[in-house]
Chains A and B, each alone.
Chain A
Amino acid sequence: MKKINIWYLSSFLISFVVLIPIATVSLSFFEETTEYYKILKETFLLEYIYNSAILLFGVLILTFIFGTGTAYLVSFYDFPGSNFFKWTLILSFAVPPYIYAYSIFAFFDNYGTAFTILKNLFGEGEYNKHIPKFSGMFGAILSLSFSLFAYVYILARASFLYQSQNLIDLSKNLGFSKIRTFLQVILPSARPAIVAGLSLVAMETLAEFGAVDFFSINTLTTGIYNSWIAFDDFAFANRLSFFLLLFIFALFVLENLSRKQAKFHSNSSSRFKQREKYKLSGGLSFLAFLFCFIIFFLSFVFPFSQMLYWTIIYSDNLFDLKILSLIYNTMKLAFLSCSALIIFSFISNYGMRVSKSKPLNILNTLSISGYAIPGVILAIAFITFISWFDNSIVKLLGFNSIKTVFFGSILGLVIVYFIRFYSLACNGLKSGYEKINISVDESAYLLGYSKLKTFINVHIPYLRNSVLFVVILISLEIIRELPITLILRPFNFETFATTAFIYASEDLLEAAAAPSLFLILIASIFILSTSKFILRD
């Protein structure tokens, strides 16, 4: 068993940490739930599942239309603004669904911004009755779709860019119309990428907490939170989590299956013919512009302007905001989590490369499942596990309680972030590593490099871009992250996300505008400064 070495052990350790929440949730499935809610829970359960399914369905349809529609237009056609939209469409990433939800409410509710605009344009009047109210399920679907469609956009666009001109020429020669070419040639061959984008959307949708909570929709995820908080039924919360995990596991399998097909679909690069963009003119070019503009406007300009407007008219809230401390806290969390994630991802990726061990590969696959688990579940499972560990093992050994080390501490936060985002980091580096041919390593060994020296002098320079990309992705996630931070953070510790959420949940929505605006700004800076990495293939 020479395979049991340092790499094996560290990968094992990572997988163990990441698998704790899944194991905790699964084991709690068989615990007794409280007597009182046995009566009500059947109705609840059906409602939760039904709402989750409707939400998922609605968001998938809209993100598919928004994402593939815009990606198709900007990658195949040349029209006014096509280059501008190419990169501004990803700015929607900067607006988390819950801030989108606040914007919808702020704009459309009675006496909201829409009312003010109408009043200023046409004078006093009874406008409220005629302004549509996008609340409830419909509001939630819109919020999620506009803030998540970029996943589909980015992946679909990457796939469209690599579609060979030969294929499109072929369909042209067969006399296919543009629409028929799109539906029967372009779309099917981009299918794996689109499905991959949609499954990311699906996972985010199922895990979403802030926006659905704001619109008071009971989904599996808010149901988990509520049955724990309001109904005091921890076991039921865990049981719901188990259902949600099954849901997500099914998606996971689907996604992996479609990825396998991606290999089958991808064309060989040798015959790759650079494709030229088709220049649109007249009405068609206007329609293409209009479609992209509407999506860009609604996904980014609208929430950004609404938050900016409220920040200006309720400017005293801005002065109450401890901006520097919020930036510092957010950056500190991002920095610590990124460091931990990058270091451990390096270890496990490098470990896999040098040891080529199969069990290690399986462990690694298991340990990337954290991303599929909603933050609420992770935080609750983490608390359950530490409490159990503390009450049984730590007390038994006669040590002092370790709870305060993990609850309400930066350490606890970073551990749970680690579990949640490990797959992003690990996969990000993995794709970088896959581009370094193994013969590079062998040449280095021949030159007398040690493994460590190979790692430092060869791998790290090669992987610089991948690391940067991972850092950006994780930082964006942490800037927007809500449930984990909310449940586990220390005293006097806020981020832009928690400040906005707390104000919004306490009837002080206007005060949530300033932190939301800053969150969007910081996230936008991150995105813009690295858009060339995100928009890379």
Chain B
Amino acid sequence: MRKISIYTILLTFISSLTIAAEVNIFNARHYKADAELYSKFTNKTGIKVNLINGKAGALEKRMIKEGADSSADLYITADAGRCGAFKAKGMTQGGLISPAIKAAVPSNFRTNHWTGIAKRARIVYYAPDRVSGAELSGLTYESLADPKWKGRLVIRASGNIYNKSLVASLVKNNGKKATADWAKGVVANMARTPTGNDRAQIMAVAAGEADIAVANTYYLALMLSGNKGAEQQAAAKKVKAFFPNQNDRGTHMNISCAALVKGAPNKANAIKLVEFLLTPESQEHFTNNTFEFPMIDGVSPSPLVVNNIGLDFKQDLKTKVSSYGAKQADALEVMTAAGWK
């Protein structure tokens, strides 16, 4: 009797899963633009997009615990390190590759388990009235530990994934020991205990709380767009963007990525969706709404990005983004040991 009822529950559950054409996304990117693209995709293909929104870490744990029974097809998150680490746990599968994807995404920003769908750079913002050109000249991530920035730098908490990936890239390039010393220098230079999001760092510079801040490129454009109110728009005009490491490997790049989850029940639909996100029209939608850099050639970033941040900079294409995942634990360890809150 109990056996029958368990089977009934399972059957209804499984049948409800397989009847409709659909794709299940564990989604850690919560931009409005994404949701709009998903409904465009559904209109175009008839494939329903099911979302479970959450913070990346919690979503990963749930997929891991659900294991082979997980209904997840795609895992979409705003950091290459996460996709890399998730792959390292054996939670993704190969096959997220098609001629369309290959043609669209440079090989540095994909594996056959996951691929980038949009790009961002993590850069330095400064107050032009308090930071001279001479001081900035030749600035690198490494030189953020220079004592001349003592009490002048803001950056968010070490738990933040963008910082983990940035520091992971430093571990990859300079080694763990050197990065551990660097982290101590950075902590000594902080104008305040890390608090708030990336925009809060930019605003701290605008407000005179600090002279330089580390934050992602799209945030300044977002503030300038006026979508976040007149105050933030005015504040954004008081800071300028600077691309570090132009004389060596280039500025730290990161991606939003989509990973194909192991045992995905709707693999073909998942690939279709990723291909859709990489079409010029979708990429344009991203650049104009989230202010990220496009993943593909032939699409221009938003004018706000082009005019205020610039495009003419050297990207770090040498450091594979997949190393962010591999060095993530080391990055967290050196930051924690340095007392980076």
Chain A residues in contact with chain B, CB under 8 A? 36, 40, 105, 109-112, 115-116, 119, 126, 128-129, 133, 135-136, 215-216, 226, 228-231, 313-314, 320, 383, 387, 399-405, 407-408, 486-487, 489-494, 498, 502-503, 505-511
> A230-B57, A400-B10, A489-B52 given. 19 additional CB < 8 A pairs?
A36-B329, A110-B204, A110-B207, A111-B203, A111-B232, A111-B235, A116-B231, A128-B208, A228-B61, A230-B159, A399-B3, A402-B6, A407-B65, A491-B50, A491-B71, A494-B53, A502-B54, A507-B197, A507-B198
A228-B61, A408-B66 known; A492+B194 contact, CB < 8 A: no
CB neighbours of A505 from chain B (8 A): 55
Q: Check B195 for interface membership: any CB of A closer than 8 A.
A: yes
CB neighbours of B139 from chain A (8 A): none
CB neighbours of A399 from chain B (8 A): 3, 6
Q: Check B316 for interface membership: any CB of A closer than 8 A.
A: no
**Cα–Cα distance between A507 and B10 once the two chains are bound (Å):** 39
CB neighbours of A491 from chain B (8 A): 24, 50-52, 71
Number of interface residues of B (CB under 8 A): 59
Contact of A404 among B35, B50, B69 (CB under 8 A): B69
Find out whether the CB atom of B66 lies under 8 angstroms from the CB atom of A404. Answer: yes
Find out whether the CB atom of A486 lies under 8 angstroms from the CB atom of B54. Answer: yes
Find out whether the CB atom of B69 lies under 8 angstroms from the CB atom of A115. Answer: no
Q: How far is the CB of A119 from chain B (nearest CB, A)?
A: 8
**Cα–Cα distance between A508 and B222 once the two chains are bound (Å):** 11
Find out whether the CB atom of A487 lies under 8 angstroms from the CB atom of B235. Answer: no
Question: Can you list 13 pairs linking A and B with CB atoms under 8 Å apart?
Answer: A36-B333, A40-B337, A111-B232, A112-B231, A128-B208, A129-B207, A229-B58, A229-B60, A403-B69, A492-B50, A498-B53, A509-B197, A510-B229
Q: Which B residues, 177 to 215, have Cβ-Cβ distances below 8 Å to chain A?
A: 193-200, 203-204, 206-209
Chain B residues in contact with chain A, CB under 8 A? 3, 6-7, 9-10, 13, 24, 28-32, 35, 50-55, 57-58, 60-62, 65-69, 71, 157, 159, 193-200, 203-204, 206-209, 219, 228-229, 231-232, 234-235, 329, 332-333, 336-337, 341
**Cα–Cα distance between A487 and B234 once the two chains are bound (Å):** 39
CB neighbours of B6 from chain A (8 A): 399-400, 402
**Cα–Cα distance between A347 and B336 once the two chains are bound (Å):** 51
Find out whether the CB atom of B235 lies under 8 angstroms from the CB atom of A408. Answer: no
CB neighbours of B194 from chain A (8 A): 216
**Cα–Cα distance between A407 and B69 once the two chains are bound (Å):** 10
Find out whether the CB atom of A110 lies under 8 angstroms from the CB atom of B203. Answer: yes
What 6 pairs across the A-B complex have the smallest Cβ distances? A229-B57, A128-B207, A110-B207, A110-B203, A507-B197, A111-B231
* Chain A residue with the shortest CB-CB distance to B24: A491
CB neighbours of B200 from chain A (8 A): 109-110
CB neighbours of A403 from chain B (8 A): 65-67, 69
CB neighbours of B235 from chain A (8 A): 110-111
* Chain A residue with the shortest CB-CB distance to B78: A506
Q: How far is the CB of A86 from chain B (nearest CB, A)?
A: 38
Find out whether the CB atom of A408 lies under 8 angstroms from the CB atom of B159. Answer: no
CB neighbours of B193 from chain A (8 A): 136
Q: How far is the CB of B56 from chain A (nearest CB, A)?
A: 9
CB neighbours of A383 from chain B (8 A): 62, 65
**Cα–Cα distance between A402 and B196 once the two chains are bound (Å):** 41
* Chain B residue with the shortest CB-CB distance to A405: B9
A136-B193, A491-B71 known; A408+B50 contact, CB < 8 A: no
Q: How far is the CB of B145 from chain A (nearest CB, A)?
A: 22
**Cα–Cα distance between A25 and B97 once the two chains are bound (Å):** 42
Contact of A408 among B61, B62, B198 (CB under 8 A): B62
Find out whether the CB atom of A111 lies under 8 angstroms from the CB atom of B206. Answer: yes
CB neighbours of B31 from chain A (8 A): 508
Find out whether the CB atom of B195 lies under 8 angstroms from the CB atom of A136. Answer: yes
Find out whether the CB atom of B157 lies under 8 angstroms from the CB atom of A216. Answer: yes
Find out whether the CB atom of B159 lies under 8 angstroms from the CB atom of A115. Answer: no
Q: How far is the CB of B196 from chain A (nearest CB, A)?
A: 7
**Cα–Cα distance between A423 and B227 once the two chains are bound (Å):** 46
Find out whether the CB atom of B30 lies under 8 angstroms from the CB atom of A506. Answer: yes
CB neighbours of A133 from chain B (8 A): 195
CB neighbours of B208 from chain A (8 A): 126, 128-129
* Listed residue (B58, B67, B206, B208) with the most chain A CB atoms within 10 angstroms of its CB: B58
Q: How far is the CB of B141 from chain A (nearest CB, A)?
A: 21
**Cα–Cα distance between A314 and B226 once the two chains are bound (Å):** 11
Find out whether the CB atom of A502 lies under 8 angstroms from the CB atom of B203. Answer: no
**Cα–Cα distance between A111 and B203 once the two chains are bound (Å):** 7
CB neighbours of A486 from chain B (8 A): 54-55, 58
**Cα–Cα distance between A508 and B58 once the two chains are bound (Å):** 19
Find out whether the CB atom of A407 lies under 8 angstroms from the CB atom of B62. Answer: yes
**Cα–Cα distance between A405 and B66 once the two chains are bound (Å):** 11
Q: How far is the CB of A511 from chain B (nearest CB, A)?
A: 8
Q: How far is the CB of A200 from chain B (nearest CB, A)?
A: 27
Find out whether the CB atom of A407 lies under 8 angstroms from the CB atom of B58. Answer: no
Contact of B228 among A136, A387, A487, A510 (CB under 8 A): A510
* Chain A residue with the shortest CB-CB distance to B160: A216
* Chain A residue with the shortest CB-CB distance to B161: A230
Find out whether the CB atom of B196 lies under 8 angstroms from the CB atom of A105. Answer: yes
Q: How far is the CB of B190 from chain A (nearest CB, A)?
A: 14
Contact of B159 among A40, A136, A226, A487 (CB under 8 A): A226
* Chain A residue with the shortest CB-CB distance to B199: A507
CB neighbours of A228 from chain B (8 A): 61
CB neighbours of A320 from chain B (8 A): 32, 35
* Chain B residue with the shortest CB-CB distance to A310: B229
Contact of B62 among A110, A487, A492, A511 (CB under 8 A): A487
Find out whether the CB atom of B66 lies under 8 angstroms from the CB atom of A407. Answer: yes
Q: How far is the CB of B94 from chain A (nearest CB, A)?
A: 23
A111-B203, A230-B57, A383-B65 known; A405+B198 contact, CB < 8 A: no
**Cα–Cα distance between A511 and B35 once the two chains are bound (Å):** 14
**Cα–Cα distance between A230 and B157 once the two chains are bound (Å):** 13
* Chain B residue with the shortest CB-CB distance to A483: B58
* Chain B residue with the shortest CB-CB distance to A505: B55
Q: How far is the CB of B116 from chain A (nearest CB, A)?
A: 19
CB neighbours of A216 from chain B (8 A): 157, 159, 194-195, 341
Q: How far is the CB of A531 from chain B (nearest CB, A)?
A: 35
**Cα–Cα distance between A110 and B3 once the two chains are bound (Å):** 61
Q: How far is the CB of A141 from chain B (nearest CB, A)?
A: 15
Q: How far is the CB of B99 from chain A (nearest CB, A)?
A: 30
* Listed residue (B51, B57, B198) with the most chain A CB atoms within 10 angstroms of its CB: B57
**Cα–Cα distance between A128 and B196 once the two chains are bound (Å):** 15
CB neighbours of B332 from chain A (8 A): 230-231
